[in-house]
Structure 1
């Protein structure tokens, strides 16, 4: 037993010491320092209004986020830094102190953070979509919970260099829940996560996704970059393909892993400790998740046209979305 514990400890040490990022293998310490100095110089000489407040840019660890995200290309890192600050200036409410909605999202595993990394040293985030209760926790709160989680975990250089893996568990996510996906918030998420956040998403795994989630993805795909589209993997109910990508020993029981059931309380407490807030006010809301058969087939087409124009409407894109969905399945 001690041998196994020693092996696990050594494996963790190897992951802590070895950054699996390709750019790290190709760059020397001197190269990385020159890139950091170049980025600092670009910030100091910039007159861009987005960088009017340069106080945070004095933190080397903060600047390294952008260098790792762009493989230490100084010009691209600087452009990403500008977009990040511009986005924060335009949407300061997203980075406000975590409120009840954010804590509710974290308590429901939206998102969650696995305690162990994968074999490549990547941080694994979980999203349990069926836990989402739109009336108690708006999509904007889920988005804020994800942003603040990324901000917190990006303090670790391993996450800056090795990136993230995201697993979205869609099993039992209902059509009624999907009607609460707000297009405005989804656009905010895509704009930020693709172009403004210093984050490297190495792969995104969908588990147990129903047809209406695949249709929504088909509508969204044109707005995603080619690299992002290539990294989205649809597993359906086939957990074995997920297990080919990620080791069983780090996955919770809900995903067919060897670990115990995921406990969202661990990350919630860690997050609240970092933010210096009390997690106890998280409201407990008991809801009965609607079953799919509560929406008869005759009502599905009507549900495509939602009265609230802020909500997802597939009506204008229905033909193209379904065609793309069929092509993806071929």
Structure 2
């Protein structure tokens, strides 16, 4: 690589780090704190000498793979480092993760995930606070992704667009080295979650499988915990549908809690939470996320080139095997649910019909 290209890539990486850190509310340049560096050594086997060797080996493996080397649009060291940290500096596992990450959109038939633009529905969802990232980290240094699915308008932003927006936001968030080491958690306030949002999920079983793939096998980040609060009783249907797909170590990190925001403040501490969550920070304002994400897109993010239409990209064997397993697990019938929900045009009659539909599905054993 010539010096000019190297300097340009370094500048791009620096801008992306600034977007991921500062525009998400944090102060400072985004470099790791001493305590985080110590954690990286202790938990991830990260050393100065080992990092140099591992990056060189991973670069060579990727350069030798024409399928992904043509897609990846960055070659700065920080790009490779997040894969190594996500797999504790095991170079072979990091390479498989990079393969899965780069080929994920084409594998699931959604190459638009890497298109550098936002749809009108995604912009509206950001502005209305359907999804975002809190400015402060929790007491374990984890970044907090917040979801308000009750605000999600499935007509203006279908599940596929929600999926790609989450994917983009996670990728921007993981540019922070603090997040690469400490990981991230998901905080979901299910207030107002209604049958329309639930119907969008249960009638898109393949996409649900892809989302599980994303977190478990594809994304170079450390998922540490998910907490769901203020949920209606029928969230149990989604749990019944999704949990069989999830590895035990991830299932153990998902907590469906009763009560409301007071429980979260006690669990995570008030200092990282806005007053909406009974915390000490200012009220959550989602407005800046649209600007932050658009700035990242303007700086050529995500770091992959969209695949040309019709380009044949083979699925990594590990993902192909998982997809077959997930498809079989998601094969329980939902026709009765769909019919009953779609017939529920009167709001005052929804509860009884919805209860009947969900009772049918939950009582149907998984294969």
Normalising by structure 2, we get a TM-score of 0.71
Aligned CA-pair RMSD: 3.0
Matched, 1:299 2:319: no
How far apart are residue 121 of structure 1 and its match? 2.2
> What does residue 66 of structure 1 align with?
83
Residues 266-310 of structure 1, C-alpha deviation per residue, up to 9 Å, x if partnerless? 222222222239xxxxxxxxxxxx9x9634443125645xxxxxx
How far apart are residue 11 of structure 1 and its match? 11
SS at match of 1:155: coil
* Corresponding pairs, count: 290
Checking the alignment, whether the CA contact within 8 Å between 1:130 and 1:173 is kept in structure 2 is yes
How far apart are residue 185 of structure 1 and its match? 2.5
Residues 210-256 of structure 1, C-alpha deviation per residue, up to 9 Å, x if partnerless? 11112211221010111110110112215444234312022122211
How far apart are residue 76 of structure 1 and its match? 0.6
RCO higher in structure (CA 8 A, sep ≥6): 2
- 1:253/1:189 Cα in 2 relative to 1: closer, same or farther (>3 Å)? same
SS at match of 2:192: coil
> What does residue 169 of structure 2 align with?
149
How far apart are residue 21 of structure 1 and its match? 7.5
How far apart are residue 113 of structure 1 and its match? 0.9
Matched, 1:209 2:231: yes
- Is the deviation greater in 204-213 or in 24-33? 24-33
- 1:105/1:40 Cα in 2 relative to 1: closer, same or farther (>3 Å)? same
Runs of 5+ in structure 1 lacking a partner?
1-8, 278-289, 305-313, 322-330
How far apart are residue 137 of structure 1 and its match? 1.8
How far apart are residue 74 of structure 1 and its match? 0.6
Matched, 1:50 2:72: no
Checking the alignment, whether the CA contact within 8 Å between 1:110 and 1:142 is kept in structure 2 is no
- 1:265/1:161 Cα in 2 relative to 1: closer, same or farther (>3 Å)? same
d(CA) in 1 for partners of 2:294, 2:174: 16
Matched, 1:37 2:56: yes
Runs of 5+ in structure 2 lacking a partner?
1-25, 300-343
Checking the alignment, whether the CA contact within 8 Å between 2:237 and 2:362 is kept in structure 1 is no
Checking the alignment, whether the CA contact within 8 Å between 1:203 and 1:232 is kept in structure 2 is yes
How far apart are residue 22 of structure 1 and its match? 4.0
Q: How does 1:136-215 map to 2 (within 5 A)?
A: 136-181=156-201, 182-215=204-237
Checking the alignment, whether the CA contact within 8 Å between 1:19 and 1:158 is kept in structure 2 is yes
d(CA) in 1 for partners of 2:351, 2:143: 40
Checking the alignment, whether the CA contact within 8 Å between 2:62 and 2:69 is kept in structure 1 is no
> What does residue 83 of structure 1 align with?
100
1:130 to 150, 155, 173: 150
Residues 149-190 of structure 1, C-alpha deviation per residue, up to 9 Å, x if partnerless? 112122222222221111011022123431222323322211
Residues 86-132 of structure 1, C-alpha deviation per residue, up to 9 Å, x if partnerless? 21333311222211122122122232111111223221110011111
How far apart are residue 72 of structure 1 and its match? 0.9
> What does residue 258 of structure 2 align with?
236
Checking the alignment, whether the CA contact within 8 Å between 1:110 and 1:146 is kept in structure 2 is no
d(CA) in 1 for partners of 2:213, 2:46: 30
How far apart are residue 27 of structure 1 and its match? 3.0
SS at match of 1:126: strand
Normalising by structure 1, we get a TM-score of 0.78
d(CA) in 2 for partners of 1:206, 1:103: 24
